[in-house]
Amino acid sequence: MTDLLTVKNLTKSFDESGPVVDGLDFTVREDEIFALLGPSGCGKTTCLRLIAGFERADRGSVEIAGKLLESPDHHIAPQNRGIGFVFQDYALFPHLSALENVAFGLTDIPKHKRNVYAEEVLCRTGMGDYKDRSPNELSGGQQQRVALARAIAPKPKFVLLDEPFSNLDAMLRDSMRKEVRSILKKAGMSALLVTHDQEEALSFADRIAVMNDGKIEQIGTPEEVYYQPKTKFVAQFLGRTNLFHADANGGSEINTGLGRMRLNCNACGKVLCSIRPEHLTLEKATNEHPDEIGKVVSREFKGHDITYHVELNDRKYLVHTDNRVIFEPDDSVVIKPLESAVILEDEN
């Protein structure tokens, strides 16, 4: 796949407090959906605004299909960048109906066909019945769906999505993610999604850049950032995990508080490791290794699965199992790893 968007060393400060976007490097490939995932305030929206052309870069560059759009001494106006946007606050034209909002940008389509096509896209985002309403007659979630329809209708090569599903309830969010993903993929559009919701990034994107404090900590597929996190921040931000220190001796196994465990790579010295709760399982304790016997402290039944909180040698571990209730609080158990533990780059 060829690169469509190339961001190099992108840096932006607003005041003396230091850069909010700090030397970002990443590429979005043709036909790829790429997510910038990070906590509130880490600089995601600022990065998107730099790519869109609403902010000026202090350092670095933004290119699309080899064309320079942004650098400290070069600036192409937002309307000339050929990018579609869905803003956090929707930014619909207040005096136009939902249909007119979507039809507005369809200047490449003959006039008599515009409304038919605009209605078709509105129907795909579930808003066909509301086509004649103006934005102030629509709920936040409905405005968000019109904004999505308006951004993708002209089939831009590249679309920027800033928290585009944030105002939808859980069920609608799920179906809209699937629908928008399928529209983007069918039309061969690339997208850059900004979100603080790890489940959204994992289910919607082909690749994810995990951001923390203006910097990218890791880029990878959803499986890579979830199961092979490189840093403690990535391990913890992507979901619940078990962190523990251990002494590695250069081999592929390690002695941990959970007994011997395989590692994802060879390392020496004191290391910080992570293993996801679903990569551990519980067995009924026997007296064979008394120092490895833990106690179930509590359990969370969540319908499709169960999370057990287990205490072992004064440490708490999380273990995810399927939804058959086998253990009760106070049961004696042994924690067994099903997969390798991952060594994190930050030691502490």
Shorter beta-carbon distance to ligand ATP: residue 151 or 263: 151
**Alpha-carbon gap, residue 314 to 334, rounded angstroms:** 14
- CA torsion sign for 128, 130, 133, 135 is negative
- Among the listed ranges 37-45, 99-107, 271-279, 299-307, the one in contact with ligand ATP (CB under 6 A) is 37-45
Q: Which is nearer to ligand ATP, 149 or 193 (CB)?
A: 193
Q: Are 42 and 213 in contact (CB under 8 A)?
A: yes
CB of 150 to ligand ATP, least distance (A): 21
What's the CA gap between 35 and 22, in Å, rounded? 17
Closest CB to ligand ATP among residues 167, 307: 167
Whole-angstrom CA distances from 5 to 17, 28, 38, 153 are: 29, 5, 20, 20
Q: Which of 7, 37, 42, 201 binds ligand ATP (CB under 6 A)?
A: 42
Which part of the chain contacts ligand ATP (CB under 6 A), choosing from 42-50, 137-145, 268-276, 285-293? Answer: 42-50
86 contacts 148 by C-beta, under 8 angstroms? yes
**Minimum distance between the CB of residue 30 and ligand ATP, rounded to whole angstroms?**
26
| Binds ligand ATP by CB under 6 A, chosen from 150, 196, 232, 279 | 196
Told to check if 165 binds ligand ATP by CB under 6 A, we report no
Instruction: Choose the stretch contacting ligand ATP; rule: CB under 6 A; options: 43-51, 185-193, 199-207, 283-291.
Output: 43-51
Q: Which residues contact 320 (CB under 8 A, 6 or more apart)?
A: 276, 277, 278, 280, 305, 306, 307, 308
Query: Could you say which of 4, 35, 37, 46 contacts ligand ATP (CB under 6 A)?
Result: 46
Q: Which residues, numbered 116-155, are part of the site for ligand ATP (CB under 6 A)?
A: none
Nearest to ligand ATP of 54, 93 (CB atom): 54
Q: Which residues pair with 305 in a beta bridge?
A: 322
330 in Cβ contact with 271 (< 8 Å) = no
Q: Decide: is 43 part of the binding site for ligand ATP (CB under 6 A).
A: yes
Q: In terms of CB distance, is 38 or 156 closer to ligand ATP? A: 38
Least distance in Å: CB of 163 to ligand ATP? 7
What distance in Å separates the CA atoms of residue 113 and residue 106, rounded to the nearest whole number?
Answer: 10
Q: Given the DSSP bridges, would you call strands 190-195 and 158-162 parallel, antiparallel or unpaired?
A: parallel
306, 321 Cβ separation under 8 angstroms: yes
> How many chain residues touch ligand ATP (CB under 6 A)?
11
The verdict on 20 binding ligand ATP (CB under 6 A) reads yes
Regarding 16 and contact with ligand ATP (CB under 6 A), the answer is no
193, 203 contact by CB (below 8 A):
no
**Contact call for residue 14 and ligand ATP (CB under 6 A):** yes
Residue whose structure tokens are 């402290």: 297
50 or 258, CB closer to ligand ATP? 50
- Of 163 and 278, the one with the shorter C-beta distance to ligand ATP is 163
| Cβ-based burial of 67 (10 A; exposed 0-12, middle 13-18, buried ≥19) | exposed
Q: Are 159 and 184 in contact (CB under 8 A)?
A: yes
CB atoms under 10 Å from CB of 222, counted, come to: 19
40 binds ligand ATP (CB under 6 A): yes
334 binds ligand ATP, rule: CB under 6 A: no
Q: Which of 44, 81, 150, 299 binds ligand ATP (CB under 6 A)?
A: 44
279 contacts ligand ATP (rule: CB under 6 A): no
Q: Does 57 bind ligand ATP (CB under 6 A)?
A: no
Residues that bind ligand ATP (CB under 6 A): 14, 20, 38, 40-46, 196
